[in-house]
Structure 1
Amino acid sequence: MLYIGIDLGTSAVKLLLTDEKGTIKNVVSKEYPIYFPNSGWSEQKPEEWWEQVVVGIKELITNVDKDEIDGISFGGQMHGLVILDESDEVIRPALLWNDGRTWEECNYLNEVIGQENLSKYTANIAFTGFTAPKILWVKNKEPENFNRINKIMLPKDYIAYKLTGVHCTDVSDASGMLLLDVENKCWSKEMIEICGIKEDQLATLFESYEVVGTLKEEIATELGLNSHVKVIAGAGDNAAAAVGTGTVGNGMCNISLGTSGTIFISSGQFGVDPHNALHAFAHADGHYHLMGCMLSAASCNKWWMDDIVKDKDYIGEQQKINKLGENKVFFLPYLMGERSPHNDPDARGTFIGMTMDTTREEMTQAVLEGVAFALRDSFEVAKSLGIQIERTKICGGGAKSSLWRQIIANVLNVKVDQIESEEGPALGGAMLAMVGCGVYKNVEEAAEQIVKIINTVEPDEALVAKYDAQYKKFAKIYPTVKTLFKEIV
């Protein structure tokens, strides 16, 4: 049988077709625009996601026996606010995970409701990207739209709804809403009251590997599929990527270098960072995880190469870099503000240390190193909690760079395992579909059978020492310039 994994990303939807052994049969990617109506705002139209998903599925399955397709599941960009009216029509464009407009609402939640209460209700505190502050923003700034809300959904769940007619979500994605009691995997009555909504406006909760429904007849006909195809809840993109890299069970780690960057640490038990610098979320394997998330990762290098240098030869540019651990130029990768561990929507990208003899290669290197150093910020928080990590998987577009993998291995002083498949969230979605369809008894078994390591970067003792000294310098930059950001935004 065949399985479809849908990764609803920020810049594009990636669709993957695989058999039950994880052999990839086809991959299709379809882009859609991002809208920036004001500085720090970031929106997309859910209808455009759906249009591209339909086109993508049709293209994905063109040359296969449609009767072989058994299940569909998802990974998806987290935190986005999709609101539907009584007719299940989209009320306004979705506010995305990297939208920074909700700083007033976050201040209210963190300072008036209080971080201690928020952590008790949801295991997390308010960040501008989270969904609950977005709901409050709509309530405060667009009351006419707020009054029309019938259903509140997350991005990938809108696609699941369009496929099945079921208003659903999964516990990993819902963990990032600041509306879920993460430990007990149920909606927080306190947060529902704080946001001024009703529980029936929220979607039904599922584990990531559970079946939410089957294709609606008219959708099955449009796609050329059978209506008995199962749709499985899926997971937030980072949890789905963790499944796709085999980061399941207790004490495993995955680094994702996509538009955003994350350090994802899986755990068999529920636990909370007492300082709330790391997110405490439910995992797609039925357990839990801690996660540090930076808002701009591979997107920093894309911005630097495409918009500033205006050269798309990423590999050629990186081949010129040969003095690791000795760069005098540093880069703060906060192009969209920052989440973990600073929680500062006003933070901005910053170069420092340039002189008249600074080269383009040093600037490029600084961008790659800046992202690695920012990942280490979250890594240091994990170490302070007694979590010892000796190796990590890596996925995302940035993981294709051998130089970047080498930098990360030495900045973090861990072994970095490269996976055979680079399709983290999409493959994770397909694997969740397999579990939901009964191919594997659980997510751990699916990962054990499907995920394969093809290369490992070992840290070099001399480089580790150099980068440790460099990181100590990097760590001083943000606290020094922090107060300036509020004056220049």
Structure 2
Amino acid sequence: MFLGLDLGTSGLKGVLVDDDQRVVAGATAPLTVSRPHDGWSEQSPADWIAAAEAVIGGLPAAARAAVRGIGLSGQMHGATLLDGADNVLRPCILWNDTRAHAAAAGLDADPRFRTVTGNIVFPGFTAPKLVWVGQHEPGIFARVAKVLLPKDYLRLWLTGEHVSEMSDAAGTSWLDTGARKWSEELLAATGMTPDTMPRLVEGSDISGRVRPEISARFGIPASAVVAGGAGDNAAAAIGVGVVSAGQAFVSLGTSGVLFAANDGYRPDPDVAVHTFCHALPGRWHQMGVVLAATDALNWFARLAGAETGTLTATLGSLRAPGKTRFLPYLGGERTPLNDAAIRGAFIGLEHATDRDAATRAVLEGVAYAIRDCRDALAATGTRIDRLIAAGGGSRSDYWLAAIATALGTPVSVPVAGDFGGAFGAARLGLMAATGAGAVIATTPAIARTFEPDATLTAAFDDGFARYRAAQTAIKSLT
């Protein structure tokens, strides 16, 4: 058996797969986000451990006793600060926290950061968060002995080891992404040292073994290895078999991601595309990131006093976009805007705008944001001919049809089953335990494919033009 743990923003998920990669059991535990100030987003690492205890404890004891490898996946960029005794110094500052926008701009103005990392220094990345802590919480900053990414704090609990891996480390603004190692120069520029950083391994490598206390408590063999794992999107890519150039997926989770695998390192930070290491040796990937995907739909559901499934269930077949437009910038935006201050908007509201029309506008707005990402990737020479859909939002046929038509690209849905981050993490656990390579990261069987609706292409192109015009207009209002 192989266990995959995926530490998301809204919950922790675990799946057990057998030697044939069939999912035999799963469990989840919810998590909440604290937003004490505008633009802030935090979680308590203690809640992650409690969730992991609930998830692992909720899996069948007999299956736990057969675990040979564990893989970890998780939300990226979070700053988990530990003192010399591994005590947590403050709540973790999450990926969608924008308080460090001024610090990020300052680091990004130093040309070394883009040159070495291959990426813009975004406000949600880890390095500017440490600069912010140094400026605003100097007492805490002085006590920082280790900085861990969220999933790597779970690893510390599981193994007692301070370890990260390349795909997650690439989102810190401290990694030499081409060389796949920490940059001492960039660490020094933010008051850090190599000793503050965890040891790096590849995602499919062994990072440690379970601690005796974990083995005794949960019945997991002490010989079970813990793989390096991956950041959430790289793990999802492993789960859906996006591991080689030309393969891509679109993820509709809390955030939206357009992910394309590459066999080489091809950075182009000027278009706000993320160029990160993949979770497998010698491979990289590019991502366009939309900060609010299902997060935007969930926000509207709360506003409308309805369940998200109810909102999308009544939409029927895809139709041409109406006058109402939605810009999903609820907490800023990454690709291609790199704007922490921009905020979302409904535009073109009229008497005819009912709940269904507003719901369609939200789905279309996210689809257009993903089209923005596609155009940014295309500017680097990356071509996407077909997409695999992943994430909770992929349960909406209307949304997938809108994305396919907005991008002019077929979108395929795997057969029933979850091939996301937890499954990808389990695959990495299998690789670490058995020595298997990328060949086991196969593409799942496809249940159905949404082709672009040629009769609506012109209408969606026109809607995108109006979306871009609104995007330009609201920039001057923030």
Aligned residue type for 1:141? H
Matches within 5 A, 1:153-232: 153-232=148-227
Q: Which residue of 2 aligns with 1:140?
A: 135
Deviations 1:29-67 (A, max 9, x none): 1012211111110000011101110121011133x3443
8 Å Cα contact 2:17-2:25 kept in structure 1: yes
State yes or no: 1:52 paired with 2:48. Answer: no
Q: Which residue of 1 aligns with 2:147?
A: 152
8 Å Cα contact 1:321-1:365 kept in structure 2: no
| Secondary structure of the corresponding residue to residue 95 of structure 2 | coil
State yes or no: 1:304 paired with 2:300. Answer: yes
Q: Which residue of 2 aligns with 1:23?
A: 22
State yes or no: 1:280 paired with 2:279. Answer: no
Aligned residue type for 1:426? A
CA apart distance, 1:422: 2.6
Matches within 5 A, 1:29-428: 29-62=28-61, 64-111=62-109, 113=110, 116-286=111-281, 287-305=283-301, 307-312=302-307, 314-315=309-310, 317-322=312-317, 324-420=319-415, 421-428=417-424
Deviations 1:404-445 (A, max 9, x none): 11111111111111123334101000011111111x6212x1
Q: Which residue of 2 aligns with 1:447?
A: 441
| Secondary structure of the corresponding residue to residue 259 of structure 2 | strand
Structure 1 window deviating more from structure 2 (21-30 vs 318-327): it is 318-327
Deviations 1:209-248 (A, max 9, x none): 1111111111211122211111111000000011111111
How many angstroms apart in 2 are the aligned matches of 1:464 and 1:327?
14
Q: Please provide the CA RMSD for this pair.
A: 1.4
8 Å Cα contact 2:318-2:398 kept in structure 1: no
Q: Which residue of 1 aligns with 2:431?
A: 435
8 Å Cα contact 1:373-1:471 kept in structure 2: yes
8 Å Cα contact 2:79-2:150 kept in structure 1: yes
How many angstroms apart in 1 are the aligned matches of 2:261 and 2:203?
15
How many angstroms apart in 2 are the aligned matches of 1:313 and 1:236?
27
Q: Label 1:344 to 1:65 Cα distance change in 2 as closer, same or farther (>3 A).
A: closer
Runs of 4+ off more than 4 Å: none
Q: Label 1:189 to 1:374 Cα distance change in 2 as closer, same or farther (>3 A).
A: same
8 Å Cα contact 1:329-1:352 kept in structure 2: yes
Deviations 1:340-390 (A, max 9, x none): 110111111200011122221110000000000001001011222232211
| Secondary structure of the corresponding residue to residue 379 of structure 1 | helix
How many angstroms apart in 2 are the aligned matches of 1:276 and 1:284?
23
8 Å Cα contact 1:395-1:424 kept in structure 2: yes
Alignment partner of 1:468 out of 456, 461, 467: 461
How many angstroms apart in 2 are the aligned matches of 1:274 and 1:78?
18
CA apart distance, 1:478: 1.2
User: Identity, % of aligned pairs?
Assistant: 36
Deviations 1:298-353 (A, max 9, x none): 11111111x11111162464423546223111000011111111011111120001
8 Å Cα contact 2:114-2:121 kept in structure 1: no
Q: What's the TM-score, normalizing by structure 1? A: 0.95
How many angstroms apart in 1 are the aligned matches of 2:310 and 2:399?
11
Q: How many residues align?
A: 476
Aligned residue type for 2:78? G
How many angstroms apart in 2 are the aligned matches of 1:385 and 1:66?
45
8 Å Cα contact 2:77-2:94 kept in structure 1: yes
Extract unaligned runs of 5+ from structure 1.
none
Structure 1 window deviating more from structure 2 (417-426 vs 280-289): it is 417-426
| Secondary structure of the corresponding residue to residue 441 of structure 2 | helix
Aligned residue type for 1:467? F
Q: Label 1:274 to 1:168 Cα distance change in 2 as closer, same or farther (>3 A).
A: closer
8 Å Cα contact 2:73-2:421 kept in structure 1: yes
Aligned residue type for 1:478? Q
8 Å Cα contact 1:249-1:285 kept in structure 2: no
Aligned residue type for 1:87? A
How many angstroms apart in 1 are the aligned matches of 2:308 and 2:463?
27
Extract unaligned runs of 5+ from structure 2.
none
| Secondary structure of the corresponding residue to residue 26 of structure 2 | strand
How many angstroms apart in 1 are the aligned matches of 2:126 and 2:202?
19
How many angstroms apart in 2 are the aligned matches of 1:427 and 1:39?
34
How many angstroms apart in 2 are the aligned matches of 1:56 and 1:477?
44
| Secondary structure of the corresponding residue to residue 264 of structure 1 | strand
How many angstroms apart in 1 are the aligned matches of 2:316 and 2:453?
17
Structure 1 window deviating more from structure 2 (188-197 vs 364-373): it is 188-197
8 Å Cα contact 2:120-2:269 kept in structure 1: no
CA apart distance, 1:70: 0.7
8 Å Cα contact 1:321-1:361 kept in structure 2: no
How many angstroms apart in 2 are the aligned matches of 1:235 and 1:363?
36
CA apart distance, 1:125: 1.5
8 Å Cα contact 1:124-1:276 kept in structure 2: no
How many angstroms apart in 2 are the aligned matches of 1:473 and 1:294?
19
How many angstroms apart in 2 are the aligned matches of 1:5 and 1:16?
5
Deviations 1:244-268 (A, max 9, x none): 1111111211111000001001000
8 Å Cα contact 2:413-2:449 kept in structure 1: yes
Q: Label 1:434 to 1:333 Cα distance change in 2 as closer, same or farther (>3 A).
A: same
How many angstroms apart in 1 are the aligned matches of 2:241 and 2:448?
15
Q: What's the TM-score, normalizing by structure 2? A: 0.97
How many angstroms apart in 2 are the aligned matches of 1:285 and 1:455?
28
How many angstroms apart in 2 are the aligned matches of 1:213 and 1:266?
27
Q: Which residue of 1 aligns with 2:3?
A: 4
| Secondary structure of the corresponding residue to residue 69 of structure 1 | coil
How many angstroms apart in 1 are the aligned matches of 2:374 and 2:311?
30
